Amino acid sequence: MGGKSLWPAFWSKVGAVGFRTKIMGIVAIFILFSTLGLVGYIYRDFPASLRSQLQEQGIAIGTGLAAQGRDLILTHNQFALYKLVKDTRDASKDIAYAFVLDAEGNVLVHTFDGGFPTDLLGINQVQPEEAYRVQALQTEDDKIQDVAVPILGGKAGVVRLGMSEANIDAAVTGYIGHILPWVALILVLGLCVAYGFASILTKPISQLAEAARAVGRGDFRWKSPIWAKDEIGSLGIAFSEMSEELKRKERMRAQLLAKVIGAQEEERKRIARELHDETSQSLTSLMVGLKLIEDSADAVSVKEKTAELRALAARTLDEVHHLATELRSSLLGDMGLVVAIQRYTKEYSAKMNINVDTHVSGVSELRLPSEVEIAAFRIIQEALTNVAKYAEAKNVSVVLRHRESSLVAVIEDDGKGFDVNGIMASPNEKKLGLFGMYERASLIGGKLSIESQTGAGTSIFLEVPLKSTQEVMNG
């Protein structure tokens, strides 16, 4: 549990550090760990290698000394033997001591200034069948590799050399002393390179971050500089394309909003005219008739006038009901999408003199979220309105079906068709209706596609995944 709780705290600390600092930190850690590994090798493996070389050197010197001193021992030329041993020791700074024993183990010559230490006689005793023998010794001041080489298989005596390891420690310390300045230089150079590299990476990323904030504020003027054809360059290009697309959609959204507001104002004016020209006059006539009834004393006349007023009130009620129905289809809220579309297409066919063939499959008993029903109804309504305005079609097919977990609507006509991409890319106001259809589909998580060619009619496909609709509306 403690380890798990440390990770969020660790990543929160790391996440608070800038990208440039992260890269420089990674480079510094890599260099430092590489240095630690090199120093560890020098302390652990390098002395062993030097110690092995020291042993080989001692064996070689001991073997050569045994070969040269053999005749001197056999001829009992002790002075020449001493001079040979002393010159051999003086020729190598790694030899701490050297001495020669005869076949009985007596010391013939040695290089000790303060007298021969007799305790050396009892150690590292080489056997006649051995070519050499090496034993590590620890003295008060030094570590010694004691090398014993028999002369004539031990029949003429033994050569003993003490190879000092003092120079090994000095070599290790010297190597480390030489390495550390280079490590410091490499660390500085590495950090400089890392800083430059991080700056190259972070500058376009910082510009992308600034651009994202600008786009979030609605400022689409920023253009991404193309630094290179790498992943960051691709990211900049993708961001510029996204910004242009958002700019285009925002411009179309503003145009659509202006059209919606204008349509609302026109609708209010139309309703005001309807109320003034029709309903208001009917109510005025109703009030005048009631006044006449109030002043009339003829029962027959009152009865006739009452019948006229009832008919007038019924017509006025029908007009108000029709006006309310135009504002919002009550069938959509009361009976559902299928009944509303069937009723609308029937009235549309009679009014526009266009044959409409409506097919419904698997949706009749299905009540969908109100947002889905309203959006689907308005998309179909807008599609049929466009057919009446622009398509010059004689036949229209409206298909509504429930397929797996999606609501699918297809509207096809045999009209003159149009260039979809050309209309969407043009400043023509005709595209606002199409854009509104796309927007309605997007708001409920659906997908709208339009296929059309000049002279080949138009097909509009709407698919709404019902499982994700509620998530989209809540998101």
**CA 434 – CA 389 distance, rounded (Å):** 13
Residue range of the domain that includes 307? 249-327
- Residue 184 structure tokens: 């410091």
My answer on whether 295 and 152 are in the same domain is no
Q: What is the DSSP string of 389-434?
A: III--SEEEEEEEEETTEEEEEEEE-S----HHHHHHS--THHHHH
Contact yes or no for 375/337 (Cβ under 8 A): no
My answer on whether 319 and 441 are in the same domain is no
Q: What is the CATH number of the domain that holds 308?
A: 1.20.58
Total domain count, the chain: 3
Q: What is the pLDDT along the chain (475 residues), one digit of tens a residue?
A: 445 555 566 555 655 566 677 777 788 888 888 877 777 777 777 778 888 888 899 999 999 998 998 888 888 898 999 999 999 999 988 898 999 999 888 999 999 988 888 888 888 888 878 889 999 998 877 889 999 999 988 888 999 999 988 888 777 777 777 777 887 888 788 788 877 777 777 777 777 777 777 777 667 666 666 666 666 677 777 777 777 777 777 776 766 666 655 666 666 666 666 665 666 666 676 666 676 676 666 766 767 767 777 777 777 777 776 666 655 555 666 678 888 888 889 988 988 899 999 998 887 767 678 888 888 888 998 899 889 888 889 999 999 998 878 899 999 999 998 888 887 777 665 666 787 888 888 888 889 999 998 888 999 999 998 864 444 344 4
7 in a structural domain: no
**Cα end-to-end distance, the chain, whole Å:** 34
Compute, in degrees rounded to 10, the torsion defined by CA atoms 356, 357, 363, 367.
20
My answer on whether 421 and 362 are in the same domain is yes
- Residue 275 structure tokens: 């109320």
221 in a structural domain: no
Q: What is the CATH number of the domain that holds 72?
A: 3.30.450.20
Q: Strand, helix or coil at 270? A: helix
pLDDT at 311: 77
pLDDT at 472: 39
My answer on whether 96 and 150 are in the same domain is yes
Amino acid identity for residue 446 in this structure: G
My answer on whether 382 and 273 are in the same domain is no
Question: Is 351 exposed, middle or buried, given 0-12, 13-18 or 19+ CB atoms closer than 10 A?
Answer: exposed
135 in a structural domain: yes
Relative to beta strand 406-413, strand 395-403 is: antiparallel
pTM of the complete model = 0.44
214 in a structural domain: no
351 in a structural domain: yes
**CA 469 – CA 467 distance, rounded (Å):** 6
Q: Where are the alpha helices (DSSP H) in 128-230?
A: 166-216
Q: Alpha carbon 302 to chain centroid distance? A: 84
pLDDT at 469: 45
- Domain termination site, one of 327, 351, 385: 327
403 in a structural domain: yes
My answer on whether 286 and 338 are in the same domain is no
My answer on whether 39 and 153 are in the same domain is yes
Q: What are phi and psi of 465, to 5 degrees?
A: -70, 115
pLDDT at 162: 92
**CA 111 – CA 299 distance, rounded (Å):** 162
pLDDT at 399: 94
280 in a structural domain: yes
